[in-house]
Structure 1
């Protein structure tokens, strides 16, 4: 009897180019170890880690198909919403222009966070957070790691609750583009636009449907149905929403590290009722 090998797909992951803990080379090696067939690296507002990842796959002959991706931060009704672009041309001028603006917005936000932390006697936070960043950008995740390491909080969750989240002392709203602009630029770069981790935005079902409807109106292609640490009920709900709005389905671990996130390739399989975004990829 011949058994077909299970195809493992992970279309949402992060490296040290943004706020992951593994370098691009380390990430693709882990993907190979986890027998992932298709991996998208989707760092926050940057594509700078992708060339290294591709070079490592080719040099070490890893059995991983790399999908060029990016996770673009957007603002929708005072909520930070993430849009993943898959199969993007990382040399596209419109994409690079958008990411440059996003990068500057992230720098400004990090400086403002540091200034707010100084007001509650946490000094030199920007410089300290930089020690946890191997890329060009200091994100809230890097501040969180600094706060944990310095003993201000016990874990990442508390860092966001007490300081960095919406109700925190040092919260600063993201300064980024609109969903419409993100989708437009992703398409201009030849990619497909995916609404990332829809259940993580703490929206009512009514507001989530409004978000998905607007995303669809702007030309969005898919939503993440299978995502990090979700219930079976949530998986089925997102599958239902994908079909209701006639969107393709994606899946991804949103891997950053092994402590606070799911490991690469460990999400649940997509329900048979949805159409995978990769179904017509060559």
Structure 2
């Protein structure tokens, strides 16, 4: 059984429509795929309606979070099987989407003011109503011929080290865990040791997250090198967290193909044993 528990559609910052995402999952030989768009469940209905026979779909979301300790560290939470009608969760997603909109416009304006041939109108059109993310800015820069691809846009212009960067209005990570659990969901820490993305939290912080309700760690992820994957696997064992694996697929916005990393079937079975508000959509 092949299982990918972290993918994105055009409902957030991927390039595949939810229907195309389902077809890509089936073509890659996946048996299970999770749709985990940023701060929205807008792609769920289309994904479920276009699920190929034999493919199981896990309803999920991804939330951008922050840990505020001695230093501010950005991190992401995946939430599986949460009730999308939960008022508190919906309110936080709405706040995050509004923050993304403001931040996206500020970054587009910063780049335009610096002479790059992009505009907020172009970025907004590329998002087409989805929560604005840096990949939309990257695609605008690619269309303008500034960079060859979105990965280059991130490296050269959109990283936090560049003057055009604007910080997101992220959720406190412990608040996000509480909200996901309160909506009957299962929170999993996405790419916890992806050091190439920036600083990571300590083992002690992950232990605090586990005590707050975290159920899993994304161990196998394209942005974690072999040593970091081994360290994440060790941490998952130490804290009795479920080790997952995922591609973090974004269509053509990233070079990583769907199913580049996968979840062990036994780990997925452990996830399914936990009580949750929703269940996978399957035959």
- TM class by shorter chain equals 0.7 to 0.9
Q: How large is the Cα RMSD of the aligned pairs?
A: 2.4
Runs (4+) off by over 4 Å: 201-205, 268-272, 274-277
1:174: how far off?
1.1
Give the structure 1 partner of residue 60 of structure 2: 69
Give the structure 2 partner of residue 30 of structure 1: 24
Give the structure 2 partner of residue 109 of structure 1: 103
The answer to whether structure 1 residue 267 and structure 2 residue 264 are counterparts is no
Once residues 117 and 236 of structure 2 are traced to their aligned partners in structure 1, the CA distance between those partners, rounded to angstroms, is 46
Change (3 A) 1:261 1:89: farther
Change (3 A) 1:65 1:113: same
1:189: how far off?
1.5
Once residues 104 and 220 of structure 2 are traced to their aligned partners in structure 1, the CA distance between those partners, rounded to angstroms, is 31
After the TM superposition, which residues 84-233 of structure 1 pair with which residues of structure 2 at under 5 Å, given as runs?
84-122=78-116, 124-202=118-196, 207-228=201-222, 230-233=224-227
Give the structure 1 partner of residue 273 of structure 2: 280
Any idea what SS the aligned residue of 1:253 has? coil
Point out where structure 1 has 5 or more consecutive residues left out of the alignment: 1-6
The answer to whether structure 1 residue 239 and structure 2 residue 233 are counterparts is yes
Once residues 57 and 262 of structure 2 are traced to their aligned partners in structure 1, the CA distance between those partners, rounded to angstroms, is 20
The 8 Å contact of residues 218 and 243 in structure 2, kept in 1 or not, is answered as: yes
Q: Could you list the per-position Cα deviations for residues 212-260 of structure 1 after superposition, in whole angstroms to 9, with x for gaps in the alignment? A: 1332232211110111254433322211011122211122110002572
Once residues 146 and 92 of structure 2 are traced to their aligned partners in structure 1, the CA distance between those partners, rounded to angstroms, is 35
Larger RCO (CA under 8 A, 6+ residues apart): 2
The 8 Å contact of residues 197 and 225 in structure 1, kept in 2 or not, is answered as: yes
Give the structure 2 partner of residue 4 of structure 1: none
1:44: how far off?
0.7
The 8 Å contact of residues 161 and 168 in structure 1, kept in 2 or not, is answered as: no
Once residues 275 and 33 of structure 1 are traced to their aligned partners in structure 2, the CA distance between those partners, rounded to angstroms, is 21
Aligned residues: 271
TM-score w.r.t. structure 2 length?
A: 0.86
Once residues 277 and 106 of structure 1 are traced to their aligned partners in structure 2, the CA distance between those partners, rounded to angstroms, is 34
Point out where structure 2 has 5 or more consecutive residues left out of the alignment: none
Once residues 176 and 139 of structure 1 are traced to their aligned partners in structure 2, the CA distance between those partners, rounded to angstroms, is 13
The 8 Å contact of residues 72 and 182 in structure 1, kept in 2 or not, is answered as: yes
The answer to whether structure 1 residue 46 and structure 2 residue 40 are counterparts is yes
Q: Could you list the per-position Cα deviations for residues 92-121 of structure 1 after superposition, in whole angstroms to 9, with x for gaps in the alignment? A: 222211111111111111121122213312
